[in-house]
Amino acid sequence: MAKARLENNQVVIYNTDCPKPFQIIEGYENDFTVGVNYWGGDLLTDEQWELFGFFPYTTPDYNSNVQEISSIDLINGVYVPTLVDKTWPQSLEELKEQKIANLKYIYNSELSKTDWVIIRNTELGLTTDQAILDERESLRLECAAKEAEINAITTKKNIALYELPNFI
């Protein structure tokens, strides 16, 4: 389980095995020198972690596209994050335009993989293989269908949740 500690009025989250050194801060000296970095990891017991101000951190399960952590509070010896729904300064139409621009970029990247074939065949007066033409047409139709889906969305949250294709 991850651990967290209040440092300079901000909760800092550390992995359980403390992959980075933590610095001793005032109030947590416990026979150690303030300002010196120490490694914790599995060498420390839970009680020793707490002497240095570290308490368990509850990692939230949430969708960062539509939620964010508003605060992290120490409750009964455990740091607990509070989640809130995101708000977007852009209008619904602006979010749609942005999502559609990203969609077109993705499909343009896919089409560009065979652009050289089309250009070469056009320059040389050759016939392009029908499979390539069909694939390109299919990509254009898919893109148009997804653009229509995006335009039909009526909430900012659903725009944020709409997943664009990944051709990798």
Closest of 135, 124, 3, 123 to residue 59, by C-alpha: 3
Asked whether the beta carbons of 3 and 14 are under 8 A apart, the reply is yes
Question: Tokens in use for 157?
Answer: 């949250």
Distance of alpha carbon 87 from alpha carbon 5, whole angstroms: 28
Q: What's the pLDDT at 147?
A: 98
* Cα 125 to the center of its chain, rounded Å: 47
Q: Which residues contact 6 (CB under 8 A, 6 or more apart)?
A: 12, 53, 74
Closest of 83, 4, 115 to residue 49, by C-alpha: 4
Distance of alpha carbon 120 from alpha carbon 59, whole angstroms: 54
Q: What's the pLDDT at 93?
A: 98
Q: What's the pLDDT at 26?
A: 65
- The domains of the chain are located at 3-85, 92-161
Q: What's the pLDDT at 62?
A: 94
Q: For tokens 């016939």, name the residue.
A: 127
Number of H helices and number of E strands within the chain? 4, 7
Q: What's the pLDDT at 102?
A: 97
> Consecutive sets of 10 residues in the chain, 168 residues long: mean pLDDT of each?
84 70 64 64 74 87 94 94 96 98 97 97 96 97 98 97 93
Torsion, CA 79, CA 82, CA 86, CA 87, rounded to 10: -120
CA distances from 135 to 71, 107, 131, 139, 156 (A): 48, 12, 6, 6, 32
* Verdict on whether the full-model pTM lies above 0.85: no
CA distances from 143 to 100, 103, 135 (A): 9, 7, 12
